[in-house]
A and B are shown apart, each in its own frame.
Chain A
Amino acid sequence: MVDFARVQKELQECNRDFEVSGIRVVPKSEANLAHLLGTIPGPLGTPYEGGTFKIDINLTDGYPFEPPKMKFVTKVWHPNISSQSGAICLDILKDQWSPALTLKTALLSIQALLSAPEPDDPQDAVVAQQYLREHHTFLGTARYWTEAFAMTSSLDVEEKVKKLVEMGFPETLVRSALDSVGGDENLALEKLCSG
Chain B
Amino acid sequence: MPIPEINNWEHFRDDDIMLRHSAIQAEEAMKVPFIGDKARKPLILIVLEPISSLAVEYQLGSPILLEKIKVLAAQFTAIRRTRGDGNCFFRSFMFAYLDHILESQDRPEVDRITVNVEQCRKTLLSLGHAEFTFEDCFALFLEQLESVVPRCEIPISHDELVERSRDQSTSDYVVMFFRFITSGEIRKRSEFYEPFIHGLTNMSVEQFCKSSVEPMGEESDHVHITALSDALGIPIRIVYLDRSCDDKGHVSVNHHDFSPLATDSTKANACCSEAHKPFITLLYRPGHYDILYPK
Q: Which residues of chain A have C-beta atoms less than 8 A from B105's C-beta?
A: none
- Among A3, A85, A99, the residue within 8 A (CB) of B176 is A99
Q: Is the CB of A95 within 8 A of B136?
A: no
Interface membership of B246, Cβ < 8 A: no
Q: Is the CB of B215 within 8 A of A97?
A: yes
Q: Which residues of chain B have C-beta atoms less than 8 A from A153's C-beta?
A: none
* Chain B interface SS verdict (over half): helix
Q: Which residues of chain A have C-beta atoms less than 8 A from B176's C-beta?
A: 65, 99-100
How far is the CB of B285 from the nearest CB of chain A, in Å? 23
Interface membership of B211, Cβ < 8 A: yes
In the complex where A10-B132, A100-B133, A102-B133 touch, is A95 in contact with B215 (Cβ < 8 A)? Answer: yes
Please report the C-alpha to C-alpha distance between residue A65 and residue B183 in the assembled complex, in whole angstroms: 17
- Among A6, A89, A95, A100, the residue within 8 A (CB) of B183 is A100
Q: Is the CB of B132 within 8 A of A87?
A: no
Interface membership of B284, Cβ < 8 A: no
How far is the CB of B99 from the nearest CB of chain A, in Å? 24
Chain B: residues with Cβ within 8 Å of the partner, total of: 22
Determine which residue in B129, B133, B134 has the highest number of CB atoms from chain A within 10 A of its CB, and name it.
B133
**Which B-chain residue is minimally distant from A10 (CB atoms)?**
B132
Which one, B10-18, B36-44, B113-121, B275-283, is touching chain A? B10-18
Please report the C-alpha to C-alpha distance between residue A31 and residue B136 in the assembled complex, in whole angstroms: 24
Q: Is the CB of B134 within 8 A of A100?
A: yes
Please report the C-alpha to C-alpha distance between residue A96 and residue B176 in the assembled complex, in whole angstroms: 14
Please report the C-alpha to C-alpha distance between residue A89 and residue B14 in the assembled complex, in whole angstroms: 9
Please report the C-alpha to C-alpha distance between residue A91 and residue B210 in the assembled complex, in whole angstroms: 11
How far is the CB of A150 from the nearest CB of chain B, in Å? 23
In the complex where A6-B132, A6-B136 touch, is A99 in contact with B216 (Cβ < 8 A)? Answer: yes
Please report the C-alpha to C-alpha distance between residue A177 and residue B211 in the assembled complex, in whole angstroms: 53
Q: Is the CB of A95 within 8 A of B180?
A: no
Q: Which residues of chain B have C-beta atoms less than 8 A from A3's C-beta?
A: 136
Please report the C-alpha to C-alpha distance between residue A97 and residue B129 in the assembled complex, in whole angstroms: 15
Q: Is the CB of B215 within 8 A of A123?
A: no
**Which B-chain residue is minimally distant from A12 (CB atoms)?**
B132
**Which B-chain residue is minimally distant from A85 (CB atoms)?**
B13
Q: Which residues of chain B have C-beta atoms less than 8 A from A87's C-beta?
A: 13-15
Q: Is the CB of B129 within 8 A of A100?
A: yes
Interface membership of A94, Cβ < 8 A: yes
Q: Which residues of chain B have C-beta atoms less than 8 A from A6's C-beta?
A: 132-133, 136
Interface membership of B172, Cβ < 8 A: yes
How far is the CB of A127 from the nearest CB of chain B, in Å? 15
Determine which residue in A13, A96, A99 has the highest number of CB atoms from chain B within 10 A of its CB, and name it.
A99
Q: Is the CB of A94 within 8 A of B18?
A: yes
Query: Contact flags (1/0) for B204-230 with A, using CB distance below 8 Å?
Result: 000000110011110000000000000
Q: Is the CB of B215 within 8 A of A98?
A: yes
Query: Contact flags (1/0) for B5-44 with A, using CB distance below 8 Å?
Result: 0000000011100100000000000000000000000000
Interface membership of B130, Cβ < 8 A: yes
Q: Is the CB of B133 within 8 A of A99?
A: yes
**A82-131, CB < 8 A from B:** 85, 87, 89, 91, 94-102, 123
Q: Which residues of chain A have C-beta atoms less than 8 A from B130's C-beta?
A: 9, 13, 102
Q: Which residues of chain B have C-beta atoms less than 8 A from A91's C-beta?
A: 211
In the complex where A65-B172, A87-B14 touch, is A98 in contact with B132 (Cβ < 8 A)? Answer: no
Please report the C-alpha to C-alpha distance between residue A99 and residue B136 in the assembled complex, in whole angstroms: 11
In the complex where A96-B210, A97-B215, A100-B183 touch, is A13 in contact with B14 (Cβ < 8 A)? Answer: no
Please report the C-alpha to C-alpha distance between residue A13 and residue B133 in the assembled complex, in whole angstroms: 11
Determine which residue in A6, A97, A100 has the highest number of CB atoms from chain B within 10 A of its CB, and name it.
A100
Please report the C-alpha to C-alpha distance between residue A98 and residue B178 in the assembled complex, in whole angstroms: 13
The 3 residue pairs across chains A and B that have the minimum distance between CB atoms: A98-B214, A9-B132, A98-B215
* 16 more CB-based (< 8 A) A-B contacts, given A100-B214, A102-B130: A3-B136, A6-B133, A9-B130, A9-B132, A10-B132, A13-B130, A87-B13, A91-B211, A95-B217, A98-B179, A99-B133, A99-B137, A99-B214, A100-B129, A100-B134, A100-B176
The contact sample of 19 A-B pairs, CB cut-off 8 A, is A3-B136, A6-B136, A13-B130, A13-B132, A65-B216, A87-B14, A87-B15, A95-B217, A97-B215, A98-B214, A98-B215, A98-B216, A99-B137, A99-B176, A100-B129, A100-B134, A100-B180, A101-B214, A102-B133
